[in-house]
C-alpha cells in the first residue's frame, strides 16, 4: 500500500469552500413544494475582528442549518451587518477616516473570517444597515407607522451623556455613568420621536404563552419588563388648583396615604421651579444618574417638600406634597406615599419625619411597623367604611372615589438619537412650531435634497436626529427573506420564509431587541406587510465563552483569537470544540487542550478512512463483530438524531460519534487488509461522516469524496435500522431485599435512572415496595437491581 495522505486542514478547507461558492451550494429560493426552514443568528456589529462568542453563535446556527438541509428542507441562512452606531463615529475620529470607510473596511475583514469557518450562508442576501437601500425602507416604514398613529413626538425624561452628547438607554448607564465615556449621566427632558409600543403591551404579554419554543427565562424577563398590573387610579385635588392623578396596585391602602411624591419633571414640579431657586438647584443636583427603575430603587432617597398640599380623595384631609428623586417619569409621574405598607415610602417617611399610618393588619398575629413596613395583604382597619374587609375585597367599595385601571410598566420607545452615523429620521419640523411636522413620504424628491424647505409660508427643517440602532435590527429578519425586492419594502417571498424557525443569540437581548422585533412584526402585520404576528418560532440563547472562568476581554488578557486557532488546527476542529465543550445554552470554558482533543479525533477519523478507502468491498456473512458494530452504529444514529433535532444537545451528539469510532476494535482494523469485512466498516465511516457533517463539514466533504462517487451535500441524514435496536435489548433482573420479584427489558443505551424508574413500575415489584421506604438501591450494570426496603 502506498503512502497515506495526511490530514492538512489548511489544504482541504479552502478547496471545499471554493467548491461551495462555485456550485452555489447554499443559495435558496422560495419553493412551495418543499418544507422551509429559516435559521437566523443575530447579525454582528462590524467591529473588525471575530471573537469566540461570534464563532460559537454562528457555528450553532450553521450546525442547525446543515442538519435541517440534510432532513430535506429548503433552508435559508443569511448573514449581514448591524452597521450603524456610536463606536464607528468615535473610531472614525480617532483614526481620521469616515465612519462609512471604517465600517466597510471592518466588514470586509470579518467577512473573510466568517467564510474561513465554512458557514453555509446565502451571501446574495447580504446587506449592511448603513446602506441607503436598506434604511430608505426603514424610513418609509416609520412614515407608515406615523400615518397609523403609532409614532408620536413627545417630551421625555432621558439619560443624557454630556460628553458623547447623546441619549443613552437605561442599559447603557452603569453605576450612574455613561457606558463609553464614563461621564456622570444627567436626567434631561427633551423632545423626541417615540414608537407607541405601549399600544401593543397587552398582546406582547399574552402572546408570550404561544411562544413554546422560547426559553422560559426570556419569556419571564419580557413579562416582567412589560409589567402588567391591575389597580385603581385616584385623583387628588391640590391647593394649587391642579389635579394630581396616581395609580396604585394597592387600593386597600388608600386610607394610609400620608404624602404624595412627584417626579423631577412633573408639571407641578416644573411650575414650582420657576419661583423657587432652592428647588431648582435641588432638581439640578438630583438629575444626575440613570432614569432606570433599578438605579432609582438603589439610589439614596432624597426629597424636597413643596409649599403646597393635596386633599385626600375620601377624607379630604390635607396631605404633604414632595418631590422625590426615586419617582420615575412614566405613568403619571406621581406616587401616593403609604409608609406603613411600602418599604420605599417607609424609608422616605422615616428620613423626613412624615406620618406613618397603619391600615392593614395580619389576621393571625400582631404586626410591628417600628422597624419596617408591613407589605403583605391582610385585614383593613383604621379606614372608616373599609374596616374589616380583606385587601382583595375593596375594589367595589372604592369605585365612587377612583376607577379601576390596568397599567403597564412598558413605556413608549424613544427612538431619537443625537448621532450623525445613523439612519436619518424622515421628518421635517416647522421651525416656528415643533408640533407641525412633515414626513418624508409627503414630500417630493426635489424637496428631500434640501435641509430646509419653504411650504405655505412656513420653514421646515430636516430633523437632525437619527434612529436608535435597535430600529434597524427590529425588522432585518424580514428584509433577508425578501432580498430581491427593489420597489417595495417586502415581496411575497417574505411570507414564504417567515416566521424565522430558529433564532440564535444572547440572552442579553431578551428585553430590548427581542421585544422590539416582536412589536415591529405585529405592526407590520397590521400594515398588511407580513402574514405572521410573531417573528421567531424557536429561540436559542447561547452561553458565553469564558477563559479562566471569566468572559473574554482584552483588559483581562484572556482573549483567544479565532484566526490563530483556525490557522493552526483548522476551522473544523474549532467548530467541533465550540459545540462539544458545553450544551449550547450554557457557558463554555475555553480549553486549548480540549481543542487539541477535537483535532486529534478528526485526525483519527482521517486515518481510519485512509485505511479503508483502498480496500475492496466483498459481501460476506456477518459474524459477531459485525453484529456488534451494526448495533452500535444504529444506536448512535438514533441518539444523535434525537440530540440534533429535539434536544439540540450537540455536545452529547459529538460524544456519541466519538464513542462509535472508538468502539471499532483494534483487531478489526488489523484484519481489514485480509478480511472481507471492509463493507461493514465503510458503512460505519460513511454514516459517521453524514452525522458529523453539520459540525465539521470540510473534512467530512473531503473524506466522503475519497470513499464515494457522489457528493455529501446530495445525501440525506442517515436513518437507523430498528431491527438492530431490537436485538440490543436484554433482560434486567429486579430484586427486593435480595429476592427476585420480576424482570424488565432494557436497552443498551438506557441510563441508570431510567432503568431504576422502569423497575419500580413493574407490576409485581410494586407489590413489594409500595408503602415501604427504599433504604438503598443496589445497581449492577447489565445484570440486576436490588431494592432494599423496610
Cα(339)–Cα(422) distance, rounded to whole angstroms? 46
The verdict on residue 2 lying in a domain is: no
**Does the pLDDT at position 296 exceed 60?**
no
Cα(218)–Cα(514) distance, rounded to whole angstroms? 9
Measured N-to-C along each axis, helices 571-580 and 650-663 cross at an angle, to the nearest 10 degrees, of 110
Q: What is the phi-psi region of residue 333: left when phi exceeds 0, alpha when psi lies from -120 to 50, beta otherwise?
A: left
Q: What is the pLDDT of residues 152-165, one digit of tens each?
A: 998 877 888 888 88
Domain shared by 295 and 191, yes or no? no
3-state class (DSSP) for residue 47: coil
Q: How much is the mean pLDDT over the chain? A: 92
**Does the pLDDT at position 555 exceed 80?**
no
**Predicted pLDDT of residue 558:** 83
3-state class (DSSP) for residue 561: coil
Sign of CA dihedral 691, 695, 696, 701: positive
**Predicted pLDDT of residue 2:** 45
Q: What is the pLDDT of residues 73-114, one digit of tens each?
A: 999 999 999 999 888 888 888 889 999 999 999 999 999 999
Domain shared by 99 and 181, yes or no? no
**Does the pLDDT at position 70 exceed 90?**
yes
Q: What is the pLDDT of residues 445-502, one digit of tens each?
A: 888 889 999 998 999 999 999 999 999 999 999 999 999 999 999 999 999 999 999 9
| DSSP assigned state of 4 | P
Residues 785 and 762: beta-carbon distance below 8 Å: no
- Alpha-helix runs per DSSP H in 247-311: 267-273, 277-285, 293-298
Higher per-residue pLDDT: 139 or 284:
139
Instruction: Residue 635: give its domain's CATH number.
Output: 1.10.730.10
Task: Pick the closest to residue 523 from 607, 428, 667, 412 (CA basis).
Answer: 412
**Does the pLDDT at position 322 exceed 60?**
yes
The verdict on residue 4 lying in a domain is: no
Rounded to 5 degrees, what are φ and ψ at 284? -60, -45
Cα(295)–Cα(308) distance, rounded to whole angstroms? 28
Cα(717)–Cα(526) distance, rounded to whole angstroms? 40
Does residue 499 have a cis peptide bond before it, meaning omega lies within 30 degrees of 0? yes
3-state class (DSSP) for residue 257: coil
Domain shared by 715 and 626, yes or no? yes
**Predicted pLDDT of residue 724:** 83
Instruction: Residue 326: give its domain's CATH number.
Output: 3.90.740.10
Domain shared by 27 and 74, yes or no? yes
Domain shared by 537 and 655, yes or no? no
Residues 591 and 547: beta-carbon distance below 8 Å: no
Task: Pick the closest to residue 644 from 571, 606, 695, 595 (CA basis).
Answer: 695
Predicted confidence band at 290 (pLDDT cuts at 50, 70, 90)?
A: low
Domain shared by 485 and 402, yes or no? no
Domain shared by 481 and 439, yes or no? no
Number of alpha carbons in the 13 Å side-chain half-sphere of residue 672 = 24
Residues 535 and 521: beta-carbon distance below 8 Å: yes
Higher per-residue pLDDT: 629 or 490:
490
Predicted confidence band at 530 (pLDDT cuts at 50, 70, 90)?
A: very high
Residues 590 and 52: beta-carbon distance below 8 Å: yes
Cα(366)–Cα(262) distance, rounded to whole angstroms? 33
Cα(622)–Cα(668) distance, rounded to whole angstroms? 13
The verdict on residue 400 lying in a domain is: yes
Pairing outcome for strands 151-161 and 186-195? antiparallel
Domain shared by 241 and 165, yes or no? no
Let me know the angle formed at the C-alpha of 106 by 103 and 108, rounded to the nearest 5 degrees. Answer: 110
Instruction: Residue 77: give its domain's CATH number.
Output: 3.40.50.620
Longest dimension (CA), the chain: 105
Measured N-to-C along each axis, helices 562-569 and 52-70 cross at an angle, to the nearest 10 degrees, of 60
Sign of CA dihedral 467, 169, 287, 201: positive
Domain shared by 25 and 93, yes or no? yes
The verdict on residue 64 lying in a domain is: yes
H/E stretch holding 722:
helix 722-726
**Domain hosting residue 662, numbered range:** 560-721
Distances (CA, A) of 365 to 152, 196, 373: 52, 47, 15
Predicted confidence band at 340 (pLDDT cuts at 50, 70, 90)?
A: very high
Domain boundary (491, 512, 547) is at 547
**Predicted pLDDT of residue 667:** 54
Cα(644)–Cα(592) distance, rounded to whole angstroms? 25
3-state class (DSSP) for residue 319: strand
Q: What is the pLDDT of residues 167-205, one digit of tens each?
A: 886 657 777 888 778 898 888 888 899 999 999 999 999
Domain shared by 234 and 277, yes or no? yes
The verdict on residue 241 lying in a domain is: yes
Rounded to 5 degrees, what are φ and ψ at 447? -65, -35
Distances (CA, A) of 400 to 213, 238, 311, 317, 524: 45, 19, 16, 17, 41
Q: What is the pLDDT of residues 221-271, one digit of tens each?
A: 999 999 999 999 999 999 999 999 999 999 999 999 999 999 998 999 999
Residues 342 and 326: beta-carbon distance below 8 Å: no
Q: Is the pTM of this model over 0.75?
A: yes
Residues 79 and 123: beta-carbon distance below 8 Å: yes
Domain shared by 239 and 332, yes or no? yes
Measured N-to-C along each axis, helices 99-116 and 86-95 cross at an angle, to the nearest 10 degrees, of 110
Cα(672)–Cα(143) distance, rounded to whole angstroms? 72
| DSSP assigned state of 253 | G
**Predicted pLDDT of residue 655:** 97
Task: Pick the closest to residue 420 from 662, 743, 63, 89 (CA basis).
Answer: 89
The verdict on residue 330 lying in a domain is: yes
Distances (CA, A) of 28 to 15, 24, 631: 22, 9, 37
The verdict on residue 212 lying in a domain is: no
Q: What is the pLDDT of residues 768-777, one digit of tens each?
A: 988 888 999 9
Domain shared by 482 and 577, yes or no? no
Q: What is the pLDDT of residues 535-550, one digit of tens each?
A: 999 999 999 999 888 8
Which residues, listed in sequence order, are joined to residue 739 by a DSSP beta bridge? 736
**Predicted pLDDT of residue 1:** 40
Instruction: Residue 739: give its domain's CATH number.
Output: 3.10.20.590
Q: Would you tell me how many other CB atoms lie within 10 Å of the CB of residue 734?
A: 24
Residues 764 and 742: beta-carbon distance below 8 Å: yes
**Does the pLDDT at position 295 exceed 70?**
no
Higher per-residue pLDDT: 100 or 681:
100
Task: Pick the closest to residue 512 from 587, 406, 410 (CA basis).
Answer: 410
Q: Which three-class secondary structure string do you get for 440-497?
A: HHHCCHHHHCCCEEEECCEEEEECCCEECHHHHCCCHHHHHCCCCCCCCCCCCHHHHH
**Predicted pLDDT of residue 198:** 96
User: How many domains are there within the chain?
Assistant: 5
Q: From start to end of 18-59, where are the E strands?
A: 36-41
Let me know the angle formed at the C-alpha of 463 by 457 and 465, rounded to the nearest 5 degrees. Answer: 170
**Predicted pLDDT of residue 299:** 67
Burial class of 97 by CB neighbour count within 10 A (0 to 12, 13 to 18, 19+): middle
**Predicted pLDDT of residue 677:** 59
Let me know the angle formed at the C-alpha of 415 by 543 and 530, rounded to the nearest 5 degrees. Answer: 75
| DSSP assigned state of 544 | P
H/E stretch holding 101:
helix 99-116
460-478 exposure pattern, b = at least 16 Cβ within 10 A, e = fewer:
bebbebbbbbbbbbbbbbb
Task: Pick the closest to residue 106 from 84, 125, 135 (CA basis).
Answer: 84
The verdict on residue 453 lying in a domain is: yes
Burial class of 363 by CB neighbour count within 10 A (0 to 12, 13 to 18, 19+): exposed
Residues 122 and 78: beta-carbon distance below 8 Å: yes
Contacts of 135 by beta carbon, 8 Å cutoff, 6+ apart:
129, 423, 467, 472
Task: Pick the closest to residue 708 from 727, 689, 721, 691 (CA basis).
Answer: 689
Cα(422)–Cα(415) distance, rounded to whole angstroms? 11
Amino acid at each position: 500500500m502506498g503512502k497515506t495522505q495526511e490530514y492538512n486542514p489548511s489544504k482541504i478547507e479552502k478547496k471545499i469552500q471554493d467548491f461551495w461558492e462555485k456550485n452555489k451550494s447554499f443559495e435558496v429560493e422560495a419553493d412551495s413544494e418543499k418544507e422551509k426552514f429559516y435559521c437566523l443568528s443575530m447579525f454582528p456589529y462590524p467591529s473588525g475582528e471575530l471573537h469566540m462568542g461570534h464563532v460559537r453563535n454562528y457555528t450553532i446556527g450553521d450546525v442547525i442549518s446543515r442538519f435541517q438541509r440534510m432532513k430535506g428542507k429548503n433552508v435559508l441562512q443569511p448573514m449581514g451587518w448591524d452597521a450603524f452606531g456610536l463606536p464607528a463615529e468615535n473610531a472614525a475620529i480617532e483614526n481620521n477616516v469616515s465612519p462609512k470607510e471604517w465600517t466597510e473596511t471592518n466588514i470586509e475583514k470579518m467577512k473573510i473570517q466568517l467564510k474561513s469557518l465554512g458557514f453555509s450562508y446565502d451571501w446574495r442576501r447580504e446587506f449592511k444597515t448603513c446602506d441607503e437601500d436598506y434604511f430608505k425602507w426603514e424610513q418609509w416604514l416609520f412614515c407608515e407607522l406615523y400615518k397609523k398613529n403609532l409614532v408620536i413626538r413627545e417630551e421625555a425624561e432621558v439619560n443624557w451623556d454630556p460628553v458623547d452628547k447623546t441619549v443613552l438607554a437605561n442599559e447603557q448607564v452603569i453605576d450612574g455613568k455613561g457606558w463609553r465615556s464614563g461621564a456622570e449621566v444627567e436626567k434631561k427632558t427633551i423632545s423626541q420621536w417615540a414608537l407607541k409600543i405601549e399600544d401593543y403591551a397587552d398582546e406582547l404579554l399574552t402572546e408570550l404563552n404561544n411562544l413554546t419554543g422560547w426559553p422560559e427565562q426570556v419569556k419571564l424577563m419580557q413579562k416582567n419588563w412589560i409589567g402588567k398590573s391591575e389597580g385603581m387610579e385616584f385623583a387628588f385635588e391640590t391647593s394649587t388648583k391642579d389635579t394630581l392623578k396616581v395609580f396604585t396596585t394597592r387600593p386597600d391602602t388608600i386610607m394610609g396615604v400620608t404624602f404624595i411624591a412627584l417626579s423631577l419633571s412633573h408639571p407641578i414640579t416644573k411650575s414650582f421651579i420657576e419661583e423657587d431657586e432652592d428647588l431648582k438647584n435641588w432638581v439640578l443636583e438630583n438629575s444626575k444618574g440613570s432614569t432606570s427603575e433599578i438605579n432609582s430603587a438603589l439610589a439614596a432617597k432624597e426629597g424636597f417638600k413643596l409649599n403646597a398640599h393635596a386633599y385626600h380623595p375620601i377624607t379630604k384631609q390635607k396631605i404633604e406634597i414632595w418631590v422625590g428623586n426615586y419617582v420615575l417619569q412614566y405613568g403619571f409621574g406621581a406616587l401616593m406615599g403609604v409608609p406603613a405598607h411600602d418599604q420605599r415610602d417607609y424609608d422616605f417617611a422615616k428620613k423626613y419625619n412624615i406620618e406613618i399610618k397603619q391600615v392593614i393588619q395580619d389576621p393571625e398575629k400582631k404586626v410591628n411597623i417600628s422597624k419596617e413596613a408591613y407589605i403583605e395583604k391582610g385585614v383593613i382597619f383604621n379606614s372608616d367604611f373599609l374596616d374589616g374587609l380583606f385587601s382583595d375585597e375593596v375594589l367595589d367599595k372604592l369605585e365612587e372615589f377612583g376607577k379601576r385601571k390596568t397599567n403597564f410598566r412598558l413605556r413608549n420607545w424613544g427612538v431619537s438619537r443625537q448621532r450623525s452615523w445613523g439612519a436619518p429620521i424622515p421628518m421635517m419640523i416647522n421651525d416656528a412650531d415643533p408640533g407641525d411636522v412633515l414626513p418624508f413620504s409627503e414630500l417630493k424628491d426635489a424637496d428631500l435634497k434640501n435641509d430646509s424647505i419653504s411650504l405655505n409660508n412656513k420653514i421646515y427643517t430636516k430633523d437632525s436626529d437619527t434612529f436608535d440602532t435597535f430600529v434597524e435590527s427590529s425588522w432585518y429578519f424580514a428584509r433577508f427573506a425578501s432580498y430581491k425586492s427593489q420597489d417595495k419594502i417586502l415581496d411575497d417571498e417574505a411570507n414564504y420564509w417567515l416566521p424565522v424557525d430558529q433564532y440564535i443569540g444572547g440572552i442579553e437581548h431578551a428585553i430590548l431587541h427581542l421585544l422590539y422585533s416582536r412589536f415591529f412584526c405585529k405592526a407590520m402585520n397590521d400594515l398588511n406587510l407580513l402574514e405572521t404576528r410573531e417573528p421567531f418560532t424557536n429561540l436559542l440563547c447561547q452561553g458565553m465563552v469564558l477563559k479562566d472562568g471569566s468572559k473574554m476581554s482584552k483588559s483581562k488578557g484572556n482573549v483567544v483569537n479565532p484566526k490563530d486557532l483556525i490557522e493552526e488546527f483548522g476551522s473544523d476542529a474549532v467548530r467541533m470544540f465550540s459545540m462539544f465543550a458545553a450544551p449550547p445554552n450554557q457557558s463554555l470554558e475555553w480549553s486549548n487542550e480540549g481543542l487539541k482533543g477535537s483535532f486529534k479525533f478528526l485526525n483519527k477519523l482521517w486515518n481510519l478512512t485512509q485505511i479503508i478507502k483502498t480496500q475492496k468491498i466483498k459481501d460476506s456473512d456477518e459474524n459477531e463483530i459485525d453484529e456488534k458494530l451494526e448495533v452500535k452504529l444504529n444506536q448512535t444514529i438514533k441518539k444523535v438524531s434525537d440530540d440534533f433535532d429535539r434536544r439540540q444537545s450537540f455536545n452529547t451528539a459529538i460524544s456519541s460519534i466519538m464513542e462509535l469510532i472508538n468502539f471499532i476494535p483494534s483487531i478489526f482494523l488489523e484484519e481489514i487488509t485480509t478480511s472481507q469485512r471492509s463493507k461493514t466498516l465503510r458503512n460505519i465511516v460513511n454514516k459517521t461522516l453524514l452525522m458529523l457533517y453539520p459540525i465539521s463539514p470540510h473534512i467530512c466533504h473531503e473524506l466522503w469524496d475519497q470513499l464515494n462517487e457522489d457528493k455529501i451535500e446530495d445525501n440525506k441524514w442517515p436513518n437507523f435500522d430498528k431491527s438492530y435496536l431490537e436485538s440490543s435489548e436484554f433482560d434486567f433482573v429486579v430484586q427486593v431485599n435480595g429476592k427476585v420479584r420480576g424482570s424488565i427489558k432494557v436497552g443498551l443505551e438506557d441510563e441508570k435512572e431510567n432503568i431504576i424508574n422502569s423497575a419500580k413500575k413493574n407490576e409485581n415489584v410494586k407489590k413489594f415496595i409500595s408503602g415501604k421506604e427504599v433504604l438503598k438501591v443496589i445497581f449492577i450494570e447489565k445484570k440486576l437491581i436490588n431494592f432494599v426496603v423496610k
